[in-house]
Amino acid sequence: MTAIGLLYPGESAADDYRHAERILAEEGGMPVRLPVQVTSVGEDAHRVDALLDLGSDDRLAEGAARLARDATAVHGLDEELDAVIWACTSGSFVFGWDGAHDQVDTLARSAGVPASSTSLAFARALGHLDLTRVAVAASYPRDVAEHFVALLAHPGVEVTAMSTGEIITAEEVGRLDAGGVASLVRSVDLRGAQALLVPDTAMHTLALLTELERIAGMPVLTANQVTVWEGLRLAGAWPHAPGLGSLFTARVAA
């Protein structure tokens, strides 16, 4: 069984990953465990200073240590983790391209297994799909979302348009229902884009991917979706699972 540890700030949409486990088992024929370890949060705010604190090395190292300590008793794991992902977009992209890589390198040393983050997962997923022009439907305030645009520019991804929900807290994002998520998707101009990105792990999206791609008429990559995909990539696993969107049906390059 593949096991990917997820370090997740707070609990806004931590339950979203259970849906991924089910779909991967039913459609991908792959039993996957996605144990979620909630990391400490100083201030729940989509504000740069608060996000830099949220993604600090000390908080992630503490979360990785608790994940290892509780692997059997709390998470019921009988096997070693294959990878650990910092399941937070804003708490990784605010560090910039180089800083986001430094963040996961430090996490990998703390966890003792390969590591990545949601922000870097977006970049790698776009490379896997050979996409370079995207629209972004962000829940964050615009000044925070601009950091995501800047990170994507490093691997050569152009953001053709962006809408922002101006939502301050992850808790509020976690309360968005399917209609609220769909409204966010509809709020962005998709002309010229090859895909739509929805970058917030606090948002419940994994049960909505088929509908979101129908609305957008193109591949939709969401934070929780790319987080799972990145963990599986690090583990060398490539399941075919249409219920998790176009990213999980793309062919693996030979």
Cβ 69 vs Cβ 115: under 8 Å: no
Query: Residue 32 falls within a domain, yes or no?
Result: yes
- What percent of the chain is predicted at pLDDT more than 90? 87
The number of CA neighbours under 13 Å toward the Cβ of 22 is 8
User: Do the domain assignments include residue 109?
Assistant: yes
184 within domain boundaries = yes
Quick one: pLDDT at residue 18?
A: 95
DSSP string covering 54-118? HT-HHHHHHHHHHHHHTTTTTT---S--SEEEE--SHHHHTTHHHHHHHHHHHHHHHHTS-EEEH
Whole-number pLDDT of residue 189? 97
CATH number of the domain enclosing 170: 3.40.50.12500
> Is the alpha carbon torsion for 60, 66, 70, 74 positive or negative?
negative
- 188 secondary structure, DSSP code: S
| Residue 234 forms part of a structural domain | yes
- Binned at pLDDT 50, 70 and 90, residue 252 comes out as low
Note whether residue 254 is domain-resident: no
Average pLDDT of span 143-148: 98
* Whole-number pLDDT of residue 76: 65
How many domains does the chain contain in total?
Answer: 1
Residue 77: the pLDDT is: 66
Q: Note the pLDDT of residue 74.
A: 52
pTM score of the predicted model? 0.94
What residues contact residue 75 under an 8 Å CB cut-off, 6+ apart?
Answer: 33, 35, 37, 67
**Which range of residues forms the domain containing residue 59?**
2-248
Over 60: is that where the pLDDT of 90 sits?
A: yes
Position 253 in a domain: no
More confident residue, 80 or 140: 140
* Mean pLDDT for all residues in the chain: 93
How many CA atoms lie less than 13 Å away from 172 in the CB half-sphere?
A: 11
Pair of tokens at residue 227: 């987080």
